[in-house]
Structure 1
Amino acid sequence: MVWLFALPIVWWAALLLGDSISPGKNLMELLPVLTEKLNQPFRIHFTEYTVKCLFLCTLLYGIGVGIFYANQKNYRRGEEHGSAKWGDVGKLCKKYRDMPYAQNILLTQNFRIGLNCYKHRRNLNILVIGGSGAGKSRTFAIPNIMQCNCSMVITDPKAGARRFRLKRTGTTQMIVRNQFELEN
């Protein structure tokens, strides 16, 4: 709405221009007349061209304002290099965990995600991939197996997780399906 403050100036210039125009004058003949009109800026006479000049100057000013607002960019001054901030593990954990500690999937030592996927709208399917000795079983699989809070499909070719569970609890309590023995 700031552009409305300049509109009276545009109308004043249009009134001076309308008073200066006469038939048969080109731009070079119009400039000395405009200079003379600017020496007495408030001496305005209405002619047949005044209304046309008011309309034309207002239209051109409106087009200019429209172009100005259409070409504005969404700049965020002071954030030229991004506005990302480091996440706080505690805040994220509060957002995604469920209150009974056993009803969570452990992702790290300090971060867990609840089994109620409707609460946090995140997928709970997890695929653990890593090279030999990367700690997939020790750091992720075994802590979640020990919680026994949901159904799991575990591919354990060396039976390390089964042995650990047997040593810790005295029972496996797992349905073991041996895929390596093929029948003819």
Structure 2
Amino acid sequence: MNTKIKKIIILNLPCFVFGLMSTKVYKAWRLSEGYEISDKFLNFSDSFSKAFQSPLPSFNIKDLMFGISIAVILRFVIYVKSKNSKKYRKGIEYGSARWGKSTDIEPFIDPVFQNNIILTQTERLMMSNRPKNPKYARNKNVIIVGGSGSGKTRFWLKPNLMQCHSSYVVTDPNGNLQ
């Protein structure tokens, strides 16, 4: 059997079985005596045993529609839950971080040097908002914090200002920037 078909069967079989069981539940609801909902609830357990006497599902059109709708809703819930599942790194424990390599930053660098924000001597960040692969799109905001004399202006601000590739908001309380 093809693995794709096997996967489809495995995913949908529980929904199918649950839908067949739901036809019996709706049959029990139909068979319960009473015209009002409260009367039907009181007699529901008595009709439940009648509905499950036969091993076959109920072939009444209302029962089948109820079973199909329950199966479709269940499959939709499973689909939504699987798409929203978090991505865990199984088998990788706490403390497994490592230093980045030059190959790790390559997708974030534009081949044209002037189209990058200079972060360090070897690391840059592309200015393009729409890279070829959308997972490499990053926020372009940068805040530089450091003590006096740490080289914030000389090593980061002036090289990026000289490129003039975007708009900058620079606060210079000392007035030393010229």
For Structure 1 versus Structure 2, the TM-score category normalised by the shorter chain is: 0.3 to 0.5
Q: Which has the larger radius of gyration?
A: 1
The structure with higher relative contact order (CA 8 Å, sep 6+) is 2
TM-score normalised over the length of structure 1 = 0.41
TM-score normalised over the length of structure 2 = 0.43
